Chain A
Amino acid sequence: MTPSYDEERLGELLRLLRPAPAAWVRAAQELPFARRTFDEIVARAEADRIFRNALIADLEKALAREGYEPDPRFFGELRTRLTER
């Protein structure tokens, strides 16, 4: 069934998809530039059991101790990957 659109309805739907705040969008767009550190941590955790266990015990402390400063948005995904493997 094809929906019908009058002008009022179109206006309502156009209003619904408002721009997300520009700073949020920029931050999401910058993710590729922060990825290298994430990949490095994951690779090292796969190869080094002691490092991996330290990350599982206290992710942020272990990273700081090793001199890593990953984007905090990666913490959730790092935790997930560490428990998946």
Chain B
Amino acid sequence: MTRLEALSDAELVRRCRTDDPAAWNELVERYSRYVYAIAVRGFRLGDEDAEDVFQDVFTRAFLRLETLRDDSAFRPWIAQLTRRRCLDFVAGSGRELLMEDPTTDEESSDLDEVEDAFAVREALAGLSEACQEILDRFFAQDQSYRTISGELDIPTGTIASRIARCLSRLRDELEGRNEATDRSSE
């Protein structure tokens, strides 16, 4: 984990306000998948439309960072920006909505899924780099055992067991986080 990866959102936002391009770089890295998933999964936008939304959201976030009242609230803020831009974009495009009604249960359930996925992604960051790498390559990047084996220089025959082991660690990490959250809310 790099020094910047270890920083909280609030610290990155503070650094961005002091014109630190590396901090902005990390914020984009941290939230690019999230914004992309809201657009393509939550709102079912095609890639061309999703790209417009993606660039527009990060541009607005970048230019309006000083209006964010609570630096630690970057995530809900960018989520809201993304949802609004998706709705504006779809409504303004004059094209037929792919979703019948953007407030249907189906859509809200897809957005809930994105939130759950983000929690899993945060927990993933608590695992070893080796586990992060193999789980990301296999699940998020759809890489085959052969590709993973070649790129990470590990025997093909051990990949399935490594994935299973890393998933088990990921579950433990998530359960640990959830127990800590439950305790703090009691």
Which residues on A are within 8 Å of B, measured CB to CB?
A: 2-3, 5-7, 10-11, 13-21, 24-25, 27-29, 31-33, 35, 38, 73-74, 76-77
Contact = CB atoms under 8 A, between A and B. Distances in A.
22 contacts: A2-B181, A5-B175, A7-B164, A7-B168, A10-B120, A10-B167, A13-B113, A13-B116, A13-B117, A13-B120, A14-B120, A16-B113, A17-B117, A17-B121, A17-B140, A20-B32, A20-B35, A29-B24, A31-B62, A32-B62, A38-B63, A73-B55
Contact of B33 (A5, A18, A27, A31): A18
Chain B binding surface, main DSSP class:
helix
Chain A binding surface, main DSSP class:
helix
A31 B59 contact: yes
A3 B182 CA distance: 11
B84 interface: no
A74 B63 CA distance: 9
B62 A24 contact: no
B2 to A, nearest CB: 15
B21 A18 contact: no
B117 A33 contact: no
Contacts of B175: 2, 5
Interface string B9-31: 00000000001010011001100
